């Protein structure tokens, strides 16, 4: 028995409305409105095999409109993925269910990325398409040749990040990226015209995209538009004119169906409208079987790919590449050996560039870039030639002045697998991409942020460019490791640790100003403990100074002055507070004893340093905006000099 496309699409609709009704929470409008488009996509266009959700050459499908999570849960269930089960769908939005409120990559294979923050799924899809083109250039069509599809709503297109993502994708000519726009004219506040008069197709065309349009409830018309998109070499936006909540006879078309359960009465009316007689969560066997057949459609394609992989000389390299296994320790060690023989006084941003040389040379998975600050972030190396429309084998991305777009694209690249993205901007502009940094952490992705000009030490550009709260506020993000290295050796050590953080993104906060090489030995990676005693007290220990980055040099001078007065002082360098906190108690107590005056120095907010100094300790930092002046004048003005700090410590000891 053949099952009509309409029935298949209606199965998505009823699962969505029933799950939201049962949870008494969720968004039925989007999945009901896009059910027809999704049916065509999953039945005929998307390259996937429900039994192999992690197959490397699968198409990537991103539900950028993450509030419509029931769309993807329904599709994964219907097509026969191992998860979610119908039980999981019954538990939609309940504690522990893989069918969480918004789709989460760490919960369900088949969910390529975590979405919900509007606009970011789209931008991550751009990053996935970039990774695909790069790996295609390296390994060829036989191993890497897939598309990236995204479903995006009016909100995803209205967000500012959309402008960045569209500009990047157009410039890079990502022709294997297709975005299906749920063009329903509705957002939460009502008709889109209330808040937008934009000619979206015109904007996309102006940015190097191809635009197709279709009636999102006419299967033949959807196919026609998708065929048009496939035929065009540019990235494509397919405007699918849809009715939000389609199938709910009294509520469809209005903002009321966006994010509220339909209610028992309307659910019943929708069942009548759709001719659906089965109970909630019951999918007739014939419909389920037809969907599962779609879920197996890609199996022979995958088998053919596996045969090509088995026959390929690149098999081992490709598999290791996709598994993300790298050796960052060897090149780092060799680099550090050289520094011990020939110490260098350089800015840590320069130190980062120096460390990146051998790292990018030996780790081809690394793809660098900067948001138009290449010469300032020092992110480009000899091995990383430009990644362009003409040459996708390049490993350096000119992201343009698009911090948020860059960060989200890097998330997409990391999620795709096979590449390890790092990208730079000024630390102060981490605020521009903060939510994407947070999403790196939530999604457990190895993305490395090279954030330079990390304090008032940048000098004359003044308070707009001088980070104050940034380093500490990023330390608050769970599963994000913030490194602030003190010299050229620590910078290399932190790069190694960042690259070894397979499921944790990292921030490297780096200076503009030169810093002396403080480390004279490097038998082991001392940053691996997060914080360590750089200099031990000579006289009886009364003080421990903990500092990070550029302020470790100041701490060393303070200690010297105190020792001259007979006050024994340890200097602790603490490039990673979170890593130090994770050490065992014996180590922490040894480095940070309780019976001394504990002092912190960091050229940023003192907020949070109580956890290191205790309330009775001293905290030197800056709790106001910076100022425009040469660096030495600023450090003096803000009291971060040995001359200003030493007397305060002596006074506290009295
Ligand atoms: C960055 C961000 N801002 C706000 C929200 C809250 N929000 C969720 S959906 C939505 C409206 C989106 O409209 P649209 O994309 O057209 O979705 P539809 O109502 O058509 O399903 C908003 C404002 C969000 N999830 N992310
Ligand atoms: Mg909408």
pLDDT tens digits, one per residue of 310-358: 999 999 999 999 999 999 999 999 999 999 999 999 999 999 999 999 9
Q: Which of 582, 625, 619, 616 is nearest to 599 (CA)?
A: 619
Mean per-residue pLDDT for 184-210? 98
| Ligand 1 atom closest to Cα of residue 255 | 19
For 518, phi then psi, to 5°, come to -85, -25
Angle (CA) 12 13 19, round 5°: 90
Helices (H), 486-575: 488-500, 551-564
Q: What is the pLDDT of residue 129?
A: 99
Mean per-residue pLDDT for 214-235? 98
Buried b (16+ CB within 10 A) or exposed e, 163-184: bbbbbbbbebbbbbbbbbbbbb
CA distance 31 to 66: 10
CB of residue 30 inside a 6 A radius of ligand 1: yes
Q: Which of 408, 433, 410 is nearest to 422 (CA)?
A: 410
The strand pairing partners of 596, in sequence order, are: none
Q: Which of 45, 255, 62 is nearest to 152 (CA)?
A: 62
CB of residue 258 inside a 6 A radius of ligand 1: yes
CA distance 101 to 487: 44
147 is written with which tokens?
């598309």
Q: Are 226 and 147 in contact (CB under 8 A)?
A: no
| Torsion of the alpha carbons at 321, 324, 325 and 327, rounded to the nearest 10 | 90
In a 10 Å sphere around its CB, with 0-12 CB exposed, 13-18 middle and 19+ buried, how is residue 651 labelled? Answer: exposed
CA distance 118 to 241: 19
Average pLDDT for the chain: 98
CA 188 to centroid of ligand 1, rounded, Å: 7
CB of residue 117 inside a 6 A radius of ligand 1: yes
Residue 51, H or E segment: none
CB of residue 530 inside a 6 A radius of ligand 1: no
pLDDT digit string, tens, across residues 73-116: 999 999 999 999 999 999 999 999 999 999 999 999 999 999 99
Q: What is the pLDDT of residue 38?
A: 99
> The whole model's pTM is what?
0.98
In a 10 Å sphere around its CB, with 0-12 CB exposed, 13-18 middle and 19+ buried, how is residue 1 labelled? Answer: exposed
pLDDT digit string, tens, across residues 588-620: 999 999 999 999 999 999 999 999 999 999 999
Question: Can the peptide bond before residue 66 be classed as cis, meaning omega within 30 degrees of 0?
Answer: no
Strand-pair category, 568-573 with 532-535? antiparallel
Helix, strand, coil percent values for the chain (each to nearest 5): 45, 15, 40
CB of residue 154 inside a 6 A radius of ligand 1: yes
Residue 1: pLDDT band by 50, 70, 90 thresholds? low
Question: What is the maximum span of the chain, computed from C-alpha positions, in angstroms?
Answer: 93
Residue 137, H or E segment: helix 120-139
Q: Are 247 and 270 in contact (CB under 8 A)?
A: yes
| Ligand 1 atom closest to Cα of residue 29 | 21
Residue 332, H or E segment: helix 329-341
Mutate to test the pocket of ligand 1, among 103, 186, 187 (most ligand atoms within 8 A of CB): 187
Mutate to test the pocket of ligand 1, among 155, 194, 198, 245 (most ligand atoms within 8 A of CB): 155
Strands (E), 175-292: 177-183, 186-187, 190-191, 210-215, 236-241
CA distance 643 to 635: 11
Q: What is the pLDDT of residue 585?
A: 98
Mutate to test the pocket of ligand 1, among 25, 67, 179, 408 (most ligand atoms within 8 A of CB): 67
Residue 63, H or E segment: strand 60-63
**HSE of 244, CA atoms in CB hemisphere, 13 A:** 29
CA distance 387 to 169: 12
* Catalytic (active site) residue 306: no
Among candidate residues 159, 403, 490, 553, the one labeled active-site is 403
CA 117 to centroid of ligand 1, rounded, Å: 8
484 is written with which tokens?
């602030």
The strand pairing partners of 214, in sequence order, are: 240
Q: What ligand has the least distance to the C-alpha of 245?
A: 1
CA distance 266 to 258: 14
CB of residue 602 inside a 6 A radius of ligand 1: no
CA distance 521 to 378: 26
CA 334 to centroid of ligand 2, rounded, Å: 55
Q: Are 420 and 326 in contact (CB under 8 A)?
A: yes
Mean per-residue pLDDT for 287-316? 98
Q: Are 60 and 72 in contact (CB under 8 A)?
A: no
Q: How far apart are the first and last CA of the chain?
A: 91
CB of residue 419 inside a 6 A radius of ligand 1: no
Strands (E), 427-505: 448-452, 481-483
Q: What is the edge-to-edge ordering of all strands in the sheet holding 60-63?
A: 60-63, 148-153, 177-183, 236-241, 210-215
Give the percent of the chain with pLDDT over 70: 100
CA distance 66 to 246: 18
CB of residue 155 inside a 6 A radius of ligand 1: yes
Res 386 pLDDT > 90? yes
89 is written with which tokens?
């769908």
Q: What ligand has the least distance to the C-alpha of 27?
A: 1
Mean per-residue pLDDT for 149-173? 98
For residue 186, the SS3 value is strand
DSSP state, residue 548: -
Question: Can the peptide bond before residue 84 be classed as cis, meaning omega within 30 degrees of 0?
Answer: yes
DSSP state, residue 386: B
């Amino acid at each position: 028995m053949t099952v009509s496309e309409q029935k298949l699409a209606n199965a998505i609709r009823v699962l969505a409305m029933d799950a939201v009704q049962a949870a008494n929470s969720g968004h039925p409008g989007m999945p009901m409105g896009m059910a027809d488009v999704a049916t065509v996509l999953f039945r005929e266009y998307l390259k996937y095999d429900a039994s192999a959700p992690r197959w490397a050459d699968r198409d990537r499908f991103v539900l950028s409109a993450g509030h419509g999570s029931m769309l993807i849960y329904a599709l994964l269930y219907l097509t026969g993925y191992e998860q979610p089960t119908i039980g999981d769908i019954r538990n939609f939005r309940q504690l522990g269910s893989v069918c969480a409120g918004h789709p989460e990559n760490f919960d369900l294979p088949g969910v390529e990325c975590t979405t919900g923050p509007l606009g970011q799924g789209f931008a991550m899809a751009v990053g996935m398409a970039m990774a695909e083109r790069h790996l295609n250039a390296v390994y060829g069509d036989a191993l890497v040749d897939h598309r990236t599809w995204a479903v995006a709503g009016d909100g995803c297109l209205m967000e500012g990040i959309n402008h960045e993502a569209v500009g990047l994708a157009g410039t890079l000519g990502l022709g294997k990226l297709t975005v299906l726009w749920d063009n329903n004219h509705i957002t939460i506040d009502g008709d889109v015209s209330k808040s937008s008069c934009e000619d979206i197709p015109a904007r996309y065309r102006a940015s190097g995209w191809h635009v197709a349009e279709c009636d999102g409830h006419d299967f033949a018309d959807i196919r026609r538009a998708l065929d048009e998109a496939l035929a065009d070499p540019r990235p494509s936006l397919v405007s699918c004119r849809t009715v939000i909540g389609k199938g709910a006879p009294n509520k469809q078309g209005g903002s009321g169906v966006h994010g509220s359960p339909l209610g028992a009465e309307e659910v019943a009316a929708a069942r009548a409208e759709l001719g659906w007689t089965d109970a909630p969560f019951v999918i007739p066997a014939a419909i389920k079987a037809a969907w599962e057949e779609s879920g197996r459609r890609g199996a022979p394609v995958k088998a053919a790919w596996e045969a090509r992989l088995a026959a390929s000389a690149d098999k081992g390299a490709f598999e290791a590449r996709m598994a993300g296994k790298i050796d960052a320790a060897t090149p780092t060690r060799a680099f550090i050996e050289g520094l011990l023989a020939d110490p260098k006084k350089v800015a840590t941003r320069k130190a980062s560039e120096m460390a990146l040389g051998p790292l990018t040379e030996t780790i081809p998975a690394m793809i660098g870039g900067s948001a138009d600050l290449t010469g300032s972030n020092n992110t480009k190396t000899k091995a990383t030639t430009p990644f362009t429309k003409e040459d996708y084998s390049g490993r350096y991305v000119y992201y343009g002045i698009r911090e948020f777009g860059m960060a989200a694209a890097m998330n997409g690249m990391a999620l795709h697998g096979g590449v390890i993205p790092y990208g730079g901007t000024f630390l102060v502009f981490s605020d521009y991409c903060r939510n994407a940094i947070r999403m790196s952490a939530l999604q457990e992705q190895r993305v490395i942020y090279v954030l330079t000009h990390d304090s008032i030490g940048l000098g004359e550009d003044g308070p707009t460019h001088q980070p104050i709260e940034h380093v500490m506020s990023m330390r608050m993000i769970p599963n994000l490791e913030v490194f602030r290295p003190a010299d050229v050796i620590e910078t290399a050590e932190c790069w190694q640790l960042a690259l070894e953080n397979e499921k944790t993104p990292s921030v490297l906060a780096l200076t503009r100003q030169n810093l002396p090489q403080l480390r004279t030995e490097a038998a082991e990676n001392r940053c691996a403990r997060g914080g360590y005693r750089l200099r031990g007290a000579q006289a009886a220990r009364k003080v421990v100074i903990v500092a990070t980055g550029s302020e470790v040099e100041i701490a060393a001078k303070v200690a010297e002055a105190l020792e001259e007065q007979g006050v024994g002082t340890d200097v602790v360098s603490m490039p990673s507070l979170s890593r130090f906190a994770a050490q065992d108690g014996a180590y922490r107590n040894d480095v940070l004893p309780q019976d001394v005056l504990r002092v912190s120095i960091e050229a940023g907010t003192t907020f949070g340093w109580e956890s290191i100094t205790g309330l009775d300790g001293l905290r030197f930092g800056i709790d106001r905006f910076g100022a425009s002046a040469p660096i030495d004048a600023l450090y003096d003005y803000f009291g971060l000099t040995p001359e200003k700090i030493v007397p305060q410590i002596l006074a506290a000891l009295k």
